[in-house]
Chain A
Amino acid sequence: GAVVSQHPSRVICKSGTSVKIECRSLDFQATTMFWYRQFPKKSLMLMATSNEGSKATYEQGVEKDKFLINHASLTLSTLTVTSAHPEDSSFYICSAHGSRSAGANVLTFGAGSRLTVL
């Protein structure tokens, strides 16, 4: 089945540093990838939609200069949290969309990355 790998699963960093999270589709080409943020005991909030080779589309209220998204290839999208602060601590999840030969499009989620900013 479709597999999305997200790395790292956990990261702890100091305030002011930048952190990069990778999202890879392992066995399919992901034309579109989505990034979500989940606050403790809350639902997922869509942050942005990225299409391979073009700029990401950010949801209202999400700082694009804070959360840099790059989708340079059909199998990799990255989220960089720049100048991280403790309020950026959260669970970040990606999902990838790619067409399957069976006909039913697939949306598969990564396992998530827990960011803790000290």
Chain B
Amino acid sequence: AQSVTQLDSHVSVSEGTPVLLRCNYSSSYSPSLFWYVQHPNKGLQLLLKYTSAATLVKGINGFEAEFKKSETSFHLTKPSAHMSDAAEYFCVVTLTGGFKTIFGAGTRLFVKA
């Protein structure tokens, strides 16, 4: 069975400091992993995706994530937070080839001035 666990429901950082949003997954198959961002009352925007190529994945807006199979983790990071990064972030796993998606519960990122 597949599952996704986002370890923090809320993360609060100061502007200019690093961001770490944690995600662990469980999958019986080779997973594809994604991070999406959702701003209030908006749809989902793809930040980055891992599909069995390079384990360190760079995304938009300075975000990156590292796939660690031994730890079954896919944590999202950014060196320096910006006020515009405040949003809800979802870690998502899909079955390769099937594209049935499992969403994490989400992590709300707060950025303080």
Contacts and interface: CB of A to CB of B under 8 A. Distances in A.
Given A43-B90, A43-B105, A44-B90, A49 B100 contact: yes
A49 B102 CA distance: 13
Interface residues of B, number: 19
A110 B43 CA distance: 6
B105 A107 contact: no
B101 A107 contact: yes
Contact of B99 (A105, A110, A112): A105
Given A93-B44, A111-B43, A46 B99 contact: no
Given A34-B101, A44-B103, A49-B100, A104 B51 contact: yes
A21 to B, nearest CB: 13
Contact of A107 (B41, B42, B99, B103): B99
A49 B100 CA distance: 8
B104 interface: yes
8 contacts: A43-B104, A46-B101, A46-B103, A49-B100, A109-B43, A109-B44, A112-B42, A112-B44
Interface of B: 34, 36, 41-44, 46, 51, 90, 94, 97, 99-106
Interface of A: 6, 32, 34, 36, 42-46, 49, 93, 95, 97, 104-105, 107-112, 114
